[in-house]
């Protein structure tokens, strides 16, 4: 019975510990942040003029994040671009899909919250995550608007990350971009002057390999090619190790419990034996005496004391 309940306990323990160990899901949701920031950036428009960038304010729980917005005509965007949209430089030839007459370009700078909304295991951010998103400008009090697609048809959109944090010796900076599902893709290290390029809207930053996760400086050519593979395999490796660890730990615990249960049983048996022996010793104290060739027990005293019949009556 004790054994069965300990088995239950074990099962429970292993079931509970696995999701606890592996649950490192992002604490926050990047797409709902986008919706929230769309709302707050549109609030910056009080009688907005076309082609002017307005800085917006964010709720206090998002302190540090910067948002700005600009309203402009699609035709103007395609013909002239926006040469200076904060760190972004939007060339001519950018097409909006689906077509809208006027759009709002939203700028996001996630600053010290970058890693919360776009966690990137194995990498360190050396620049904030910057967002460039587009929405229909028809209704400036609308919320939960769908994103529009931007496509750079000739020159790419450039993002200037000129004030990077210090890059560790021997690391190379990489541009990273996130699509609307939050999926990261890396491109070769930044151009001279720390710029990244993109042909569409999204979120962008610059990262270096984490020092802890890159112990051996591999040759750069193969390193670059294998980056994604390595990351995946190390992810699945750590998962495998967690599973193996749980199983081995469980087995060890099981063994220990089994050992304890057996010990307990043995102890009980021995205790019984000892009791029986003790009963024998106290009840039958026989003295061995030599009778001719053999030793035979002889009673020293009469075991049942003779009693007078009258004593019963007393
Ligand atoms: C984020 O929130 C949206 C709606 O609030 C939901 O559809 C989406 O699945 C969430 N994403 C994650 C990764 O939790
Ligand atoms: C921040 O506050 C706003 C309203 O003040 C709320 O809608 C939003 O969900 C909050 N965001 C987070 C990440 O707590
Ligand atoms: C980011 O920095 C601001 C101060 O600049 C601070 O108020 C805020 O709590 C920080 N946010 C996070 C997520 O660390
Ligand atoms: C704009 O959006 C708001 C919020 O969704 C809605 O209440 C309002 O009726 C809309 N206005 C127009 C003109 O569609």
Residue 202 within a domain: yes
State residue 148's pLDDT score: 97
Residue 186 within a domain: yes
Q: Note the Cα 222 to chain centre separation in Å.
A: 28
Residue 4 within a domain: no
Residue 173 within a domain: yes
What total of structural domains would you count in the chain? Answer: 1
> Closest ligand to 144 CA?
4
CATH number at residue 106: 2.60.220
Residue 67 within a domain: yes
Q: Is the CB of 26 under 6 A from ligand 2?
A: no
| Inter-residue contact 50 to 73 (CB < 8 Å) | yes
Residues 6+ apart with CB under 8 A from 171: 208, 209, 211, 214
State residue 238's pLDDT score: 62
**Shortest-distance Cα residue to atom 11 of ligand 2:** 61
State residue 13's pLDDT score: 44
Paired tokens of 275: 């009791």
**Shortest-distance Cα residue to atom 3 of ligand 1:** 32
Residue 157 within a domain: yes
Please tell me the distance between residue 71's alpha carbon and the centre of ligand 2 in angstroms.
25
Residue 285 within a domain: no
State residue 234's pLDDT score: 52
How far apart CA 110 and CA 90 sit, in angstroms, is 20
State residue 226's pLDDT score: 45
Q: Which atom of ligand 4 is nearest to the CA of 140?
A: 1
Q: pTM score, two decimals?
A: 0.64
Q: Secondary structure of 131-188 in the HEC alphabet?
A: EEEEEECCCCCCCCCCCEEEEECCCCEEEECCCCCCCCCCCCCEEEEECCCCCEEEEC
Please tell me the distance between residue 9's alpha carbon and the centre of ligand 4 in angstroms.
56
Paired tokens of 298: 């002889």
Intervals of the chain under pLDDT 70: 1-27, 189-192, 212-245, 247-254, 259-261, 264, 267, 272-273, 276-314
- Residue keyed to tokens 């024998």: 280
Residue 307 within a domain: no
Q: Is the CB of 180 under 6 A from ligand 3?
A: no
Q: What is the pLDDT of residues 191-247, one digit of tens each?
A: 667 899 999 999 999 999 987 655 554 444 444 444 444 444 555 556 666 666 676
How far apart CA 42 and CA 45 sit, in angstroms, is 6
**Shortest-distance Cα residue to atom 9 of ligand 2:** 36
Please tell me the distance between residue 284's alpha carbon and the centre of ligand 3 in angstroms.
86
Q: Which domain holds residue 129?
A: 25-209
Please tell me the distance between residue 64's alpha carbon and the centre of ligand 3 in angstroms.
5
> Could you tell me the CA-to-CA distances from 175 to 67, 178, 195, 257, 285 in Å, in that order?
21, 10, 8, 53, 94
State residue 219's pLDDT score: 42
Q: Is the CB of 142 under 6 A from ligand 4?
A: yes
**Pocket of ligand 1, beta carbon within 6 A:** 29, 31-32
């Amino acid at each position: 019975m004790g054994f069965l309940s300990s088995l239950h306990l074990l099962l429970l323990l292993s079931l509970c510990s696995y999701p606890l160990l592996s649950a490192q899901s992002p604490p926050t949701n990047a797409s709902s942040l986008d919706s929230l920031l769309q709302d707050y950036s549109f609030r910056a428009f009080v009688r907005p003029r076309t082609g002017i960038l307005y800085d917006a304010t964010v709720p206090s729980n998002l302190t540090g994040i910067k948002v700005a917005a600009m309203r402009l005509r699609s035709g103007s965007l395609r013909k002239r671009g926006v040469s200076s949209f904060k760190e972004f430089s939007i060339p001519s030839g950018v097409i909006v899909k689906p077509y809208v007459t006027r759009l709002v370009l939203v700028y996001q700078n996630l600053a010290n919250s970058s890693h919360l909304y776009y966690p990137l295991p194995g990498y360190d951010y050396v620049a904030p995550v910057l967002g460039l998103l587009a929405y229909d400008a028809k209704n400036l009090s609308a919320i939960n608007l769908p994103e529009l697609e931007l496509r750079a048809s000739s020159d790419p959109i450039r993002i200037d990350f000129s004030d990077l944090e210090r890059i560790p010796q021997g690391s190379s900076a990489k541009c990273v971009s996130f699509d609307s599902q939050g999926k990261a893709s890396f491109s070769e290290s930044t151009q001279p002057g720390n710029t990244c390029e993109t042909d569409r809207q999204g979120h962008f930053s610059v990262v270096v390999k984490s020092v802890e996760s890159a112990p051996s400086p591999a040759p750069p050519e193969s390193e670059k090619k294998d980056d994604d593979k390595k990351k995946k395999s190390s992810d699945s490796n750590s998962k495998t190790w967690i599973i193996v660890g749980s199983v081995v730990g469980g087995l060890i615990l099981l063994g220990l419990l089994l050992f304890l249960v057996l010990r307990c049983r043995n102890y009980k048996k021995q205790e019984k034996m000892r009791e029986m022996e003790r009963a024998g010793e106290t009840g039958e104290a026989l003295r061995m005496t030599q009778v001719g060739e053999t030793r035979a027990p002889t009673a020293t005293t009469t075991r049942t004391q003779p009693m007078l019949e009258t004593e019963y009556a007393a």
